[in-house]
Structure 1
């Protein structure tokens, strides 16, 4: 595939045409073949165009692909540990105890804020929005109807909690992908995103509290809640000790201990509790770490809620990330994203417009590709050099693309996230968008930080060229 002719730079028209090809592949392939395959098709097309048209060396492309793998491997290892965490915490009762305590705090006057907080906490603990909306969401929506709360309002609380938790959770595939493609540590991303996702959650909780007073006269039909509680209590010995794995992981993460050992410790504590407190067989738990934990009660809602995790459950996401590395390495070599960003001129030369532009294009890429993965992958590659040029650390780019893509997937009619919301809650994006408060608040905070510089990390000068330092000093 080598060509000795002189290499040339890609033009804006060519780069824009490539983006249109990517969008066409993602839209056409939606539902026809896996996301990872769509990413690989785009990567193969880009590499072929680079070698045969732009006269780029295949060796250079391959070296950059390997560089991406090297940068992203820590995130892959964390993702493996996420599978272990989920299975061991289901076996130990750590996730079930969160569910039990969450359901017990529901009452009419605080229903909306409670529904938001419960779904957010459990989604953070599990890293899954789909599971929580299909189980908790269904139960909470039924309760809301019995209280006379409009479906759009209740759905806003449920979707806000589920997708805030998924987008922010260090156990989420989207968060791990965002960390991987920007070369960041997932726990650092989680901590840094507190200023947007975390404070966005606080703001949303306040709004849901105020709005909830309007419906305080309703009465909860406790039948659905009690059936879930009875099912969980019949399977587990529920007590506060089961929260220990979460406490251990949070404590050592705050102490800035290495991520992998911290997660492994959380797995070990979970296994110990499963054996000692729940009386599980050790061999059964080890098997669950690989294949996933399975609950079989015959009650569909409980079985869905209390099954999952394991190494195998991470495989599809890991393959998507591997494919993303191939595409990202190829795009970086042929300069596709640099050509697009350069053409934007003044929009990418100062901090505020750059953050706003990258946020908007993250939303657009998610809409066009029909998945948050598209928004994260394309925009992480597109703006990496632009962020560096004006002295912004890569972790700012992680935050921007996750805020732009993570929340948006719930609003895209042809995205799997929206499909599951419609199928389980019976509402569309138009119904819950006005009450999607976590999205509105975190988006506003992100843009404010971009223009003011608040909670915005600068790139260390030793990581920049002399020219980039001089440019950054005139901007930040």
Structure 2
């Protein structure tokens, strides 16, 4: 991702769109209780004006927005397919079956711990937090809500487990991206993340075990769980064979079949399940895909849980993603983000400030460019030389990119990850943010390690010599130019 021009934008001008967007966001979202679309549009307009003032013409600014949108297109496709998946799985009784059997084997007091571990295992196996949340996460929300557990807690536990696997799996795209961009061997990168991510998971499980004590499996809870299970049996045909549908999707992704065809197979199986197993009509099955599944059981909680999914219900998420990426596109391709990053590099004087600055840059990129991948790509490009100059092994950078980029994307409501979670789990950042414990603590663990020097790896003598040779060669080439 390169600038479209050599035009330079001053630091204070680069900050202006961010300040405007944040102020309007606070007023609109916090005070007026409205969505983040309008603040992002205001931020995009401000960024466009700053770019125009810096010398870019409208055609160039327009192309920046298009580039930003193109970066989000894979995520948009997945978001739409997830809407179709949820609609077909709701109508096909697949989600109801997962919830029904989950209610039989999981106790409320240990639910948060259990769902975190299950999501971590599945995500580790398939390398995708999104696929995990769209399958196991959706069922987990139903089970937890049936047990009277707050939606924010459930979503936080699902997210912690899903992002543990996404971060540590050799099949994960973000894991491979961070390793590849920094020139780090994949499994060296994963091993180095053990130092921050395993303690993060342990802390999360400890917190969830403590929170779970509030939800004892008493007589009242058992009665409510039994009532929910009975309603599910009355409303759907519950059979363990329906569990083969999510299992098929998980196995396909684990076998490195791309997410899109794997989800399409899941959608088809869900559609067929609604028609042939739940004895629904083709019209109702198609409606579930387009508008979402609709049911009236007389139980408010069950109705709220199962009335959802469908393509139409994902359009809010899709529109937010597109608007956010127009904002991020102008910031990235005009050079505004680079101007801000350059100022960050000026304060780097030690290993602690270098790692802290890297994590801060990742968080800021998540907030400004609204895309998890960019939060890895841009800081990797900006900080690579600084790590080399200080004689630090590349795996320090690759770990910081994931500790600051991959894992914090869920806390930005307009980031593709934040909007995906809202559309999939039906819970916003304000609700689940305090309970996504792993995502909260890992960046701080990483910074503490940098301050103490623990697990910070220096280059070997051979690597230092190779670095010096490369730098000398670059100087010679620059002299020739």
TM-score by length of 2: 0.67
Residue aligning to 1:34: 35
Give the C-alpha shift of residue 388 in structure 1. 2.2
Residue aligning to 1:160: 156
* Distance in 2 between residues matched to 1:325 and 1:137, nearest whole Å: 33
Residue aligning to 2:11: 12
Q: In the alignment, is residue 77 of structure 1 matched against residue 93 of structure 2?
A: no
Residue aligning to 2:44: 43
Q: Is the 8 A contact 1:292 1:307 kept in 2?
A: yes
Residue aligning to 2:428: 417
Bigger Cα displacement from structure 2, 302-311 vs 272-281: 272-281
CA RMSD of aligned residues (A): 4.8
Unaligned runs of 5+ in 2: 123-128, 167-173, 181-188, 385-393, 414-421, 458-469, 476-481
* Distance in 2 between residues matched to 1:70 and 1:395, nearest whole Å: 27
Q: Is the 8 A contact 1:275 1:281 kept in 2?
A: yes
Residue aligning to 1:151: none
Q: In the alignment, is residue 293 of structure 1 matched against residue 316 of structure 2?
A: no
Bigger Cα displacement from structure 2, 34-43 vs 287-296: 34-43
Give the C-alpha shift of residue 244 in structure 1. 1.7
Cα deviation digits, residues 331-356 of structure 1 (max 9, x gap): 12332211111001166799985664
Match of 2:252, SS? helix
Judged with a 3 Å threshold, the aligned counterparts in structure 2 of structure 1 residues 241 and 209 are, in CA distance, closer, same or farther, namely same
Match of 2:280, SS? coil
* Distance in 2 between residues matched to 1:203 and 1:58, nearest whole Å: 51
Judged with a 3 Å threshold, the aligned counterparts in structure 2 of structure 1 residues 95 and 217 are, in CA distance, closer, same or farther, namely closer
Q: Is the 8 A contact 1:88 1:274 kept in 2?
A: yes
Judged with a 3 Å threshold, the aligned counterparts in structure 2 of structure 1 residues 302 and 272 are, in CA distance, closer, same or farther, namely same
* Distance in 2 between residues matched to 1:215 and 1:7, nearest whole Å: 59
Judged with a 3 Å threshold, the aligned counterparts in structure 2 of structure 1 residues 92 and 71 are, in CA distance, closer, same or farther, namely same
Match of 1:280, SS? coil
Residue aligning to 2:467: none
* Distance in 1 between residues matched to 2:474 and 2:247, nearest whole Å: 44
Unaligned runs of 5+ in 1: 1-5, 143-153, 171-177, 185-191, 367-372, 410-414, 422-428, 455-465, 472-476
Residue aligning to 2:57: 57
Bigger Cα displacement from structure 2, 107-116 vs 119-128: 119-128
After TM superposition, list the pairs within 5 Å mapping 1:449-468 onto structure 2: none
Q: Is the 8 A contact 1:324 1:377 kept in 2?
A: yes
* Distance in 2 between residues matched to 1:215 and 1:127, nearest whole Å: 26
Give the C-alpha shift of residue 237 in structure 1. 1.6
* Distance in 2 between residues matched to 1:92 and 1:82, nearest whole Å: 15
